[in-house]
């Protein structure tokens, strides 16, 4: 059996305390094999972002374990998790988190610079990916000068430029019109085709339909898991919409 790239077991995450205590994740387990493409879907507030943050080591569970590329990460401190994250993960945040004081290309180069890649190569690789996403013209602009959709593509460029083992993306097409969403999907398909593992959170069933596996959450739990890769005909948008039913 291939070793899992990501394995989360029995995750619990509670926010607040006392009367305000809220269980955002309850006994959630998920395994992602190398090359898997998993879509996490479900209604607002069901725990999708919380799960993605735990998978990427951005947050720690109250209970349960997270293993990334053979390393247990849930019991490491922030700097230990950051080190592994830098090496293995690309993350697209729901609220993007672009560095406002850096140019677009400065933002995209960042993961490469942190890995010690030289300036020249970092710039070349960053421009290539910005071009692939149709935002190379904005390379020298500040993020605030871009539309929400353009910023979203820049955040995706930053997350994949260093070719991480796994891309974790929180609503990567949320602010995009359908033509731009298609550009993003094409990039994800190409990356997946070259072996990139992807875990993405989406409300959009058309985006979810591109994945190999769709995981549906409700009230902090996984309530449905479907394998689309092994079905002869990938379900259509109309079929997938029944996932919520």
Ligand X SMILES: Nc1ncnc2c1ncn2[C@@H]1O[C@H](COP(=O)(O)OP(=O)(O)OP(=O)(O)O)[C@@H](O)[C@H]1O
Regarding 30 and contact with ligand X (CB under 6 A), the answer is: no
Is residue 24 helix, strand or coil? strand
Note whether 64 and 8 are within 8 A (CB): yes
Regarding 16 and contact with ligand X (CB under 6 A), the answer is: yes
Q: Which is nearer to ligand X, 11 or 117 (CB)?
A: 11
Q: Which is nearer to ligand X, 114 or 218 (CB)?
A: 218
Binding ligand X (rule: CB under 6 A), the pick from 2, 18, 44, 116 is 44
Regarding 22 and contact with ligand X (CB under 6 A), the answer is: yes
Contact characters 85-104, ligand X, x per CB under 6 A: ---------x----------
CA distance 206 to 104: 29
Is residue 38 helix, strand or coil? strand
Span near ligand X by CB under 6 A; candidates 46-54, 97-105, 138-146, 160-168: 46-54
Regarding 19 and contact with ligand X (CB under 6 A), the answer is: no
H helix or E strand, kind and range, residue 85: helix 78-88
Least Cβ distance, residue 53 to ligand X (angstroms): 8
CA distance 86 to 83: 5
H helix or E strand, kind and range, residue 186: helix 178-193
Regarding 15 and contact with ligand X (CB under 6 A), the answer is: yes
Q: Beta strands 89-92 and 166-170: pairing type? A: parallel
Contact residues: ligand X, CB under 6 A = 15-16, 22, 24, 44-50, 94
């Amino acid at each position: 059996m291939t070793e899992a790239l990501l394995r989360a077991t029995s995750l619990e995450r509670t926010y607040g305390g006392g009367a305000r205590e809220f269980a955002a994740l309850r006994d959630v387990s998920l395994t992602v094999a190398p090359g898997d493409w998993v879509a996490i879907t479900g209604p607002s507030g069901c725990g999708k972002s919380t799960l993605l943050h735990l998978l990427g080591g951005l947050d720690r569970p109250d209970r349960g374990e997270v293993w990334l590329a053979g390393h247990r990460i849930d019991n490491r401190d922030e700097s230990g998790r950051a080190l592994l994250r830098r090496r293995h993960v690309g993350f697209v945040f729901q609220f993007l988190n672009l560095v406002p004081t850096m140019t677009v290309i400065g933002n995209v180069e960042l993961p490469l610079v942190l890995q010690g890649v030289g300036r020249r190569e970092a710039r070349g690789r960053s421009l290539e990916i910005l071009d692939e996403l149709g935002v190379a013209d904005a390379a020298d602009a500040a993020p605030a000068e871009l539309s929400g959709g353009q910023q979203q593509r820049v955040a995706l460029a930053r997350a994949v430029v260093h070719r991480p083992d796994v891309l974790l993306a929180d609503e990567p097409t949320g602010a995009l019109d359908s033509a731009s969403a298609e550009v993003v999907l094409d990039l994800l398909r190409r990356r997946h085709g070259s072996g990139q593992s992807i875990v993405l959170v989406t409300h959009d069933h058309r985006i979810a339909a591109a994945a190999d596996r769709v995981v549906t959450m409700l009230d902090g739990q996984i309530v449905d898991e479907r394998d689309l890769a092994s079905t002869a005909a990938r379900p259509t948008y109309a079929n997938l919409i029944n996932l919520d039913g």
